[in-house]
Amino acid sequence: MPVCMAFACKQSSYLPEGRKIPLGDSIGVITINLPSQYDTAFSFVHYEMGKDYLLYRYQPRTMPLNNSDRLTVYLSVDKIYDSAGSIHQLFSKHEQLLIDTIMNINGNQFYIYGSKCQQDSFYLQTVEASTLRKGRTLTLLFEKRSPDADTSFIESSRNALLAMRID
């Protein structure tokens, strides 16, 4: 059964210290710089690919809940014992890969995939970064849907990941 909590806050610019996303079960706190237009946040439980995930979503308040200009953080509810298989399953849906790499970001090894696909008259660009944290899969998914391919999307997503901390 889905659980949804919602709240909104108004921000005029980036917070110098970044947005803090507390993860449940003592997994840690993500600190990440997000655009000021991402002024709405909510969390919910989602069942996908045979697993339960706790999702944290940040997006503009002016857009509908299903918009594609957002950051979603996935945290697996259960511990993952087949990490390579689980991460491969998360990234198996990419259409046109632009990035396929592994990066060490502040002491955490992330598998990073970026893709672009055209849907009707729009481009959907995504950057996904996944790691294991205390035996659970942690994935950050940046999404942008726009009429034109945004040439700065991949770079800005990469910069947000490189500046991110997990404490």
Backbone angles phi, psi at 137, to 5 degrees: -75, 130
CATH number (domain holding residue 15) = 3.40.1000.10
Name the helix (H) or strand (E) containing 124: strand 122-133
Output 92 or 111, whichever has higher pLDDT: 111
Per-residue pLDDT at 7 exceeds 50: no
Between CA 114 and CA 154 the distance in angstroms is 7
pTM of the model: 0.75
Domain that holds residue 110: 4-166
Between CA 85 and CA 20 the distance in angstroms is 29
Q: What is the dihedral of CA 71, 75, 80, 86, to 10 degrees?
A: -20
Per-residue pLDDT at 47 exceeds 80: no
- pLDDT band for 89, please (50, 70, 90 cuts): low
Beta-bridge partner residues of 74: 55, 139
Number of domains in the chain: 1
Q: Which of 64, 26, 27 has its CA nearest to residue 42?
A: 64
